[in-house]
Amino acid sequence: MASKDQSPASRLRLSDVVRVGASGPRARKTRTALSALGISIGIAALVGVLGLSESSKSALLDEISALGTNLLTVEAGGGIGAGDGELPETALASAARIPTVTSASAVWNVDADVYQNEYIPEGETGAINVVAADVDLVHTLRGDVADGRFFDETTAPYPTAVVGSVAAERYGIRDLDTPTYVFIGDDYVEVVGILEEFPLAADLDRSVILSQQAASTFFDADDSPSTVFVRVLDGTIDETRDVLPGNTDPENPEEVTVSRPSDALEAQAAADDALTTLFLGLGAVALLVGGIGIANVMVIAVIERRGEIGLRRALGATQAHIRRQFVTEAIILSVLGGIGGVAIGVAATFVYASSQDWRVIIPQEAAFGGLVGAVAIGAIAGLYPAMRAAKLAPTEALRA
């Protein structure tokens, strides 16, 4: 029989540590599942909330980029000057002449009320108004026609109407398969087009639009445009913005307000939803509770396994081995919970985002951070039970 001197310092390979650490959770599957659940819920909440907010944000940004961020609106007002609060009649033509402007359109107010039909009591317009527009409006706004068509040079002289999306809904106009009319002023006007939404000019959604030419012939339309819309060359937003007031209203440039409607949408995309923050908070609380649950389960496991601990110590496991075993076990529990949580969070994001027709975006930081967080929580939760286990005297443990 060989008698040995001090053999080399004991080495436990990582695979051994993991195998040993996994043996506990594997042997008690129900308990493992339940104790990992808290972490799962927490991580699922974090991943799901971040995934959904990213997906919705990206949907909004997609929409913004489709609509273009190179649209500017020009309106009168805002200044304290002595002006008349109107743009000059030439504002549209002046704006269109600016070299960096690729297309320009305008909207004029029309002094007439619009009703679904003649029987609606006077004044009950349902906040739908009448405006006039030039033939390029839909093109300039990158809008779409849902049914029918917008005005063109040949139809512009005739009194026909195009309804905005909200106005169409109010009037119950779904399509133009049968001749459809709205009652403007004292006459019925045929509806020739239904528009899709204008996210960059939502006011127009609540409008019934006449061609500028017809409006000035048959109705009492303003001569000055209320709003001028301009599309500018990419990269020339700022310079165009600077010259627009002087060009459109040379007499009272300080009374002209230029704005960029896509800014509002971008601000909305950037805004941290209060609800998102709330759910993130709840997720963090669930993680904390999950961590405490794991610590709890590990304390119980240490008490239950005193015999095993004592035996391992008797057979030559060091205190560090025991500590590592229980910390690893806690980390395994927590990571199992973390993986489950990421899966649930991803699935939830996928289902909801798909139902909203959003592109599904899983923020990698959320998924990755969730797992790293799970490892950290497991390590912290396992530390105290592991130290207790390591401190057990072998004889004490064997007596149990």
Which residues are near other proteins by CB under 8 A?
1-4, 6-12, 16, 23-24, 26-27, 307-308, 310-319, 321, 393-395, 398, 400
Q: Which of 112, 15, 67, 35 is nearest to 268 (CA)?
A: 67
Contact 315, 340 (CB under 8 A): no
Q: Least distance to other proteins from the beta carbon of 392, Å?
A: 12
Strand partners, 162: 193, 209
What's the closest the beta carbon of residue 324 comes to other proteins, in angstroms?
Answer: 12
Q: Which is nearer to other proteins, 8 or 179 (CB)?
A: 8
Report how far apart, in Å, the C-alpha atoms of 347 and of each of 321, 360, 362 are.
Answer: 38, 10, 10
For other proteins, the closer of residues 6 and 355 by Cβ is 6
Contact criterion met (CB below 8 Å) for 209 and 137: yes
Our CB check for other proteins shows the closer of 50 and 392 to be 392
Task: Give Cα 1 distance to the centre of its chain.
Answer: 73
Find the shortest distance in angstroms from Cβ 337 to other proteins: 21
Query: For the chain, where are the alpha helices, taking DSSP H only?
Result: 14-27, 29-67, 91-97, 137-141, 165-170, 212-218, 237-248, 261-270, 274-304, 306-314, 319-355, 364-391, 394-399
CA angle 234–250–107, rounded 5-degree value: 60
- 13 vs 119, beta carbon nearer other proteins: 13
Q: Reduced to 3 states, what is the DSSP secondary structure of residue 379?
A: helix
Name which of 101 and 322 has its Cβ closer to other proteins: 322
State the minimum distance, in angstroms, from the CB of residue 313 to other proteins: 7
Q: Whole-number minimum distance, CB 28 to other proteins, in Å? A: 10
Q: How far is the CB of 19 from other proteins (least distance, A)?
A: 9
CB of 11 to other proteins, least distance (A): 4
Integer Cα distance of 300 and 27 in angstroms: 14
Shortest Cβ distance from residue 326 to other proteins (Å)?
13
Both structure tokens of 110:
């029309």
> Least CB distance from residue 63 to other proteins, whole Å?
56
Q: Which is nearer to other proteins, 37 or 311 (CB)?
A: 311
CB of 14 to other proteins, least distance (A): 13
Whole-angstrom CA distances from 219 to 102, 186, 212 are 30, 10, 10
Alpha carbons 203 and 259: distance in angstroms, whole number: 15
Closest CA to 381 of 12, 27, 42: 42
Is 18 or 269 the residue whose CB approaches other proteins more closely? 18
3-state secondary structure of 90: coil
Q: Which is nearer to other proteins, 142 or 321 (CB)?
A: 321
Residues 6+ apart with CB under 8 A from 191: 148, 160, 161, 162, 163, 173, 176, 180, 181, 182
**27 vs 66 by CB, closer to other proteins:** 27
Choose between 359 and 399: whose C-beta lies nearer to other proteins. Answer: 399
Secondary structure of residue 20 in the 3-state scheme: helix
- Give the phi and the psi of residue 366 in degrees, each rounded to 5: -65, -50
